[in-house]
């Protein structure tokens, strides 16, 4: 093997596998490449297992199942805020013939982008709800069917990204050519990994000043830890962007016509020939690192042909070991059609993705789903919307087929429901269909269900695993101004059903309705939607932080609950220890028993567990949930007559409270990762505002025109930060917040919170008197 070539591969950020270096995993000692190599190995092992299972599933499929699946692509468009997802989707719909004209995202022409159909989305220029559509794309005289979901970029609407990725087979990750990999790009990457989603990367905004696609690729390597290589080289940059060069086929591609609808090939410009060959070599070397067949060619120093390169990219992308990178500008109508070709060429069809369910009738045994119309129907309701004809339920069909007029069963409730109408969604428009097959996404009306419910045809009882739902971090009190509580209740019930991260509870002490969500913007949008959609004007209280309570040292308890009220009384004694959870389990609570000789019967121990769960819901310090606590009951006593479940539940709750207060309790507050992006001249101002908020600056990245600063800050200090940031950066700065972890509050803050809680308790007691 040519050592100069291998050194070149390492220099360009490509990490070689042991197979190429002729070493075992343990003997590798490359400080530059170890971390990524290990990540690749884990990914490789996990996919190899999936591939073996998929090969077995394919034996159960018929030839027509493969023909149908081969023409379907289920893809999502994901990115950081303002990277151009919706603009990109608008061009995709135009080039595939789904819409007849291109409109602006902000809706200044009174139409707005097709996928942002809510008035709020058009006014604010952001995507709030993920929108589904379908379109067709012709390639090599074959017609391919795309089910496409445009997802929000803002962290407050992260559940929309979660639910979309849960049901998709691939994704297009949009990255800004100027800003590169940003905070939300990293979050989206983490979500894609959670659901094993292969991705194509599209570097957008190549026509903007400061665009640098190769820096963005380096950031994909360093920040996202996934091997990536460009498939294109730009012809010109910034305002001089003319088109792109396809380095695999060595052909230049220019977008002509009023909206770039005509793709015109041409020869590679002379000044780019060396760059094209260099980038082609880097592509081959990167593929050799992640694909065995390409590694063989590389070792034999053979020049791979176009088909071999494309096949290697497809294998490595589907195996989640590699991301092909394309580039262009959605706003300038440049480079979109090659992305659609890449979706067909490199992203998996439904038969190439492993989907599993749990057999409820067989102790929740894992079942591998077969994307065949001959198998029993199985579908997942992944999104709900209130439409003009009632609740609209989006369903991804994983197995079998769904026909209009047939009956389906909700696995959770056991209810049989008739499918009276079946539609394919095109943003807020719909197209009626009679039947939907495996791998498709559709919607139906008149089904009463919750987000995440599984439906089957009744012959099997399979349930799909649910999606990840993060905890709410901000709460608001909401009070309707009018006395018409009917619409207020309707709105809250609907929003709760649609969005699992939006939670509502009634506080009996303050007599207030408390709504909780992912951030200030999240709750602000829902309050605004209540006003617009339900004519309910609301008064909101000051945002409240979702604190948690915990302990720092172990404390023993020996509590006896006695109550005599004439006749049979209550008696229960519990002895044990309350301790902080071990490191690594600090985000959950655990209850254990170690009773010897039946000192407490099992039925009473179950009641003790219920008492523990109830006590954790409302901590003794300030009434917030308890986190990171382990309770062990190892002894106790019963009374032959007076002991019952209630006695032991009460004894456990009282023992919990007493020992909690002895175990040096602390109040935990949510710590957020705040990422601020602003022009360079305001860097001092931004540091000043963050220091005032007691933020700990973790990292600063200076670009040509702007900088990005990452810091950790308590959520309680972040309220109103948007206003102060605008003031200190002349309105040019922007920031994102993402929950990181819980950490103990400062002692003075803890004292103030406890004093405030006690004062509130006293006031409520006086009001009761």
Q: Coil, strand, or helix at residue 681?
A: helix
Confidence of residue 156 (pLDDT cuts 50, 70, 90): low
* 204 labeled part of a ligand binding site: yes
Q: Are 43 and 321 in contact (CB under 8 A)?
A: yes
Q: What is the mean pLDDT of residues 602-619?
A: 90
DSSP 72-127: EEEEEEEESTTSSHHHHHHHHHHHTTS-SS---TT-TTSS--TT--SHHHHHHTS-
Least confident among 263-267, 628-632, 736-740:
736-740
pLDDT at residue 429 tops 80:
no
Compare 99 and 754 and report the one with higher pLDDT. 754
Query: Which residues lie closer than 8 Å to 196 by C-beta, 6 or more apart?
Result: 46, 50, 320, 353
pLDDT at residue 112 tops 90:
no
Q: How many of the other CB atoms lie within 10 Å of CB of 508?
A: 8
Q: Are 438 and 397 in contact (CB under 8 A)?
A: yes
Residue 706 to residue 678: CA distance in whole angstroms: 5
pLDDT at 611: 92
Query: pLDDT tens-digit profile of 238-273?
Result: 888 888 999 999 999 998 888 888 888 999 988 888
What is the distance, to the nearest Å, from the Cα of residue 254 to the centroid of all Cα atoms in its chain? 35
Instruction: Indicate the burial class of 262 (C-beta count within 10 angstroms; 0-12, 13-18, 19 or more).
Output: exposed
Residue 439 to residue 609: CA distance in whole angstroms: 43
Q: How many of the other CB atoms lie within 10 Å of CB of 461?
A: 16
Instruction: Name the E strands within 258-322.
Output: 262-266
Confidence of residue 658 (pLDDT cuts 50, 70, 90): very high
Residue 323 to residue 321: CA distance in whole angstroms: 7
pLDDT at residue 633 tops 70:
yes
* 151 labeled part of a ligand binding site: yes
> What mean pLDDT, rounded, does the chain reach?
81
Of 3-7, 158-162, 424-428, 691-695, which one has max mean pLDDT? 691-695
Helix (H) / strand (E) element for 395: namely strand 390-399
Residue 381 to residue 414: CA distance in whole angstroms: 15
DSSP 318-342: HTTS-EEEEE-BTTTTBS-HHHHHH
Helix (H) / strand (E) element for 721: namely helix 721-728
* 255 labeled part of a ligand binding site: no
CA distances from 707 to 308, 682, 701, 710 (A): 41, 9, 6, 10
Compare 162 and 8 and report the one with higher pLDDT. 162
Confidence of residue 124 (pLDDT cuts 50, 70, 90): low
Q: Coil, strand, or helix at residue 197?
A: coil
Q: In what order do the strands lie in the sheet with 243-246?
A: 232-235, 243-246, 251-256, 262-266
Q: What is the pTM of this model?
A: 0.70
Q: Are 245 and 257 in contact (CB under 8 A)?
A: no
Give percent helix, percent strand, percent coil of the chain, each to the nearest 5: 35, 30, 35
CA nearest to 756, candidates 545, 594, 522: 545
* 58 labeled part of a ligand binding site: no
* 393 labeled part of a ligand binding site: no
pLDDT at residue 765 tops 80:
no
Residue 394 to residue 424: CA distance in whole angstroms: 9
pLDDT at residue 2 tops 80:
no
Query: pLDDT tens-digit profile of 316-336?
Result: 999 988 999 999 998 888 888
Q: Are 628 and 640 in contact (CB under 8 A)?
A: no
pLDDT at 15: 32
* 154 labeled part of a ligand binding site: yes
pLDDT at residue 301 tops 90:
no
* 610 labeled part of a ligand binding site: no
Compare 564 and 660 and report the one with higher pLDDT. 660
* 79 labeled part of a ligand binding site: yes
Q: What is the mean pLDDT of residues 101-128?
A: 56
Confidence of residue 693 (pLDDT cuts 50, 70, 90): confident
Angle at 422 between CA 418 and CA 424, to 5 degrees: 155
Compare 268 and 5 and report the one with higher pLDDT. 268
Query: pLDDT tens-digit profile of 324-378?
Result: 999 999 888 888 899 999 999 999 988 888 888 888 888 878 888 888 888 889 9
Domain ranges of the chain: 61-346, 356-464, 474-541, 548-663, 668-748
Residue 581 to residue 5: CA distance in whole angstroms: 51
* 223 labeled part of a ligand binding site: no
pLDDT at residue 24 tops 60:
no
pLDDT at 638: 86
Tell me the β-bridge partners of 544. Answer: 475
CA distances from 326 to 75, 135, 201, 277, 492 (A): 16, 21, 6, 16, 43
Residue 358 to residue 466: CA distance in whole angstroms: 11
Least confident among 41-45, 495-499, 538-542, 755-759:
41-45
* 81 labeled part of a ligand binding site: yes
* 259 labeled part of a ligand binding site: no
Tell me the β-bridge partners of 711. Answer: 674, 697
Report residue 343 as tokens: 């979706």
Report residue 264 as tokens: 């015109």
pLDDT at 195: 84
Q: Coil, strand, or helix at residue 592?
A: strand
pLDDT at 84: 79
Least confident among 53-67, 181-195, 463-477:
463-477
Confidence of residue 557 (pLDDT cuts 50, 70, 90): very high
Residue 769 to residue 759: CA distance in whole angstroms: 16
Tell me the β-bridge partners of 77. Answer: 150, 172
Helix (H) / strand (E) element for 139: namely strand 131-139
- Taken as a whole, the chain contains a residue count of 769
Tally the C-alpha atoms within 13 A of residue 556's C-alpha that lie toward its C-beta. 5
Handedness of CA 540, 542, 548, 549 (dihedral sign): negative
Residue 472 to residue 256: CA distance in whole angstroms: 48
Q: What is the mean pLDDT of residues 479-504?
A: 82
pLDDT at residue 120 tops 60:
no
pLDDT at residue 578 tops 70:
yes
Q: What is the mean pLDDT of residues 170-195?
A: 85
Q: What is the mean pLDDT of residues 529-535?
A: 83
pLDDT at 724: 82
pLDDT at 10: 32
Query: Which residues lie closer than 8 Å to 279 by C-beta, 6 or more apart?
Result: 229, 230, 233, 247
Residue 714 to residue 610: CA distance in whole angstroms: 32
* 207 labeled part of a ligand binding site: yes
* 143 labeled part of a ligand binding site: no
pLDDT at residue 109 tops 60:
no
Q: How many of the other CB atoms lie within 10 Å of CB of 13?
A: 19
Q: Are 166 and 467 in contact (CB under 8 A)?
A: yes
Instruction: Report the interhelical angle of 273-290 vs 306-318 (nearest 10°).
Output: 50
pLDDT at 550: 92
Helix (H) / strand (E) element for 145: namely strand 142-150
Report residue 410 as tokens: 């909700």
Report residue 667 as tokens: 């109040």
* 86 labeled part of a ligand binding site: yes
Confidence of residue 428 (pLDDT cuts 50, 70, 90): low
Confidence of residue 679 (pLDDT cuts 50, 70, 90): confident
Query: pLDDT tens-digit profile of 498-521?
Result: 778 888 888 765 677 888 887 777
Confidence of residue 612 (pLDDT cuts 50, 70, 90): very high
Q: How many of the other CB atoms lie within 10 Å of CB of 698?
A: 12
* 84 labeled part of a ligand binding site: yes
Q: What is the mean pLDDT of residues 48-65?
A: 86
Q: Are 628 and 550 in contact (CB under 8 A)?
A: yes
Q: What is the DSSP letter of 424?
A: E
pLDDT at 594: 87
DSSP 466-498: PPP-PPP-EEEEEEESSS-HHHHHHHHHHHHHH
pLDDT at residue 718 tops 70:
yes
CA distances from 82 to 78, 133, 185, 216, 276 (A): 11, 21, 11, 16, 30
């Amino acid at each position: 093997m040519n050592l100069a070539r291998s050194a070149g591969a390492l220099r360009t950020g490509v990490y070689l596998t042991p197979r190429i270096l002729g070493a075992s995993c343990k003997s590798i000692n490359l400080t530059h490449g170890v971390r990524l190599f290990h990540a690749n190995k884990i990914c490789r092992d996990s996919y190899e297992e999936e591939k073996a299972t998929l090969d077995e599933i394919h034996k159960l499929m018929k030839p027509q199942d493969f023909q149908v699946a081969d023409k379907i692509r289920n893809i999502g468009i994901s990115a950081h805020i303002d990277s151009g997802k919706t603009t990109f989707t608008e061009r995709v719909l135009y080039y595939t013939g789904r819409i007849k004209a291109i409109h602006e995202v902000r809706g200044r022409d009174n139409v707005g982008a097709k996928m942002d159909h809510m008035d709020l989305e058009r006014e604010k220029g952001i995507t709030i709800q993920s929108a589904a559509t379908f379109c067709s794309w012709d390639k090599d005289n074959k017609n391919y069917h795309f089910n496409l979901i445009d997802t929000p970029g803002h962290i407050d609407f992260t559940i929309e990204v979660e639910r979309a990725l849960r049901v998709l087979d691939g994704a297009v990750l949009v990255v800004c050519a100027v800003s590169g990999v940003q905070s939300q790009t990293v979050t989206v990457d983490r979500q894609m990994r959670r659901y094993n989603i292969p991705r194509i990367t599209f570097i957008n905004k190549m026509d903007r000043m400061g665009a640098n696609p190769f820096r963005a690729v380096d950031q994909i390597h360093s920040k996202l830890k996934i091997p990536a290589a460009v498939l294109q080289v730009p012809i010109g940059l910034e305002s001089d962007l003319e088109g792109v060069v396809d380095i695999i086929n060595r052909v230049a591609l220019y977008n002509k016509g009023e909206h770039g609808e005509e793709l015109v090939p041409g020869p590679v410009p002379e000044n780019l020939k060396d760059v094209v060959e260099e980038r082609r070599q880097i592509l081959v070397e990167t593929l050799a690192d992640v694909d065995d067949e390409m590694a063989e060619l590389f070792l034999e120093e053979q020049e791979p042909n176009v088909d071999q390169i494309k096949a290697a990219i497809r294998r490595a992308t589907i195996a989640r070991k590699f991301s092909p990178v394309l580039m262009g500008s959605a706003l300038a109508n440049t480079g979109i059609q090659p992305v659609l070709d890449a979706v067909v060429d490199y992203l998996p069809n439904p038969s190439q993705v492993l989907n599993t369910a749990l057999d409820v009738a067989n102790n929740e045994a894992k079942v591998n789903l077969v994307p065949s119309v001959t198998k029993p129907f199985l579908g997942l309701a992944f999104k709900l919307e209130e439409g003009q004809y009632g609740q609209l339920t989006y369903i991804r069909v994983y197995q079998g087929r769904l026909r209009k007029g047939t009956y389906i069963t909700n696995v959770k409730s056991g209810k049989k429901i008739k499918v009276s109408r079946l539609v394919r969604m095109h943003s807020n428009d719909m197209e009626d269909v009679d039947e939907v097959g495996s791998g498709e996404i559709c919607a139906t009306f008149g089904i009463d269900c919750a987000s995440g419910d599984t439906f089957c045809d009744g012959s099997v009882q399979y349930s799909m695993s649910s999606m990840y739902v993060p905890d709410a971090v901000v709460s608001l009190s909401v009070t309707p101004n009018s006395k018409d509580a009917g619409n207020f209740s309707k709105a809250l019930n609907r929003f709760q059903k649609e969005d699992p991260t939006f939670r509502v509870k009634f506080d009996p002490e303050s007599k207030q309705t408390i709504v909780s969500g992912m951030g200030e913007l999240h709750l602000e949008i829902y309050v605004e939607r209540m006003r617009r959609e339900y004519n309910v004007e609301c008064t909101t209280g000051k945002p409240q932080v979702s604190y948690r309570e915990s302990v720092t040292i172990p404390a023993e308890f020996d509590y006896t609950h006695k109550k005599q009220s004439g006749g049979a009384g209550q008696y229960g004694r519990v002895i044990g220890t309350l301790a902080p959870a071990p490191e690594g389990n600090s985000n959950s609570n655990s209850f254990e028993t170690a009773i010897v000789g039946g000192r407490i019967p099992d039925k009473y121990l179950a009641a003790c567990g219920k008492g523990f769960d109830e006590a954790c819901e409302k901590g003794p310090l300030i009434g917030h949930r308890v986190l990171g606590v382990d309770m062990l009951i190892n002894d106790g006593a019963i009374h032959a007559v007076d002991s019952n479940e209630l006695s032991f539940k009460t004894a456990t709750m009282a023992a919990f409270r007493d020992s909690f207060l002895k175990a040096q309790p602390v109040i935990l507050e949510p710590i957020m990762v705040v990422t601020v992006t602003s022009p360079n001249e305001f860097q001092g101002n931004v540091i000043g505002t963050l220091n005032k908020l007691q933020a700990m600056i973790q990292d600063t990245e200076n670009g040509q025109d702007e900088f990005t600063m990452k810091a950790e800050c308590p959520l309680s200090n972040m309220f109103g930060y948007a206003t102060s940031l605008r003031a200190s950066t002349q309105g040019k700065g922007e920031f994102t917040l993402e929950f990181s972890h819980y950490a103990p509050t400062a002692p003075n803050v803890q004292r103030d919170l406890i004093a405030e809680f006690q004062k509130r308790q006293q006031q409520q007691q006086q009001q009761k008197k």
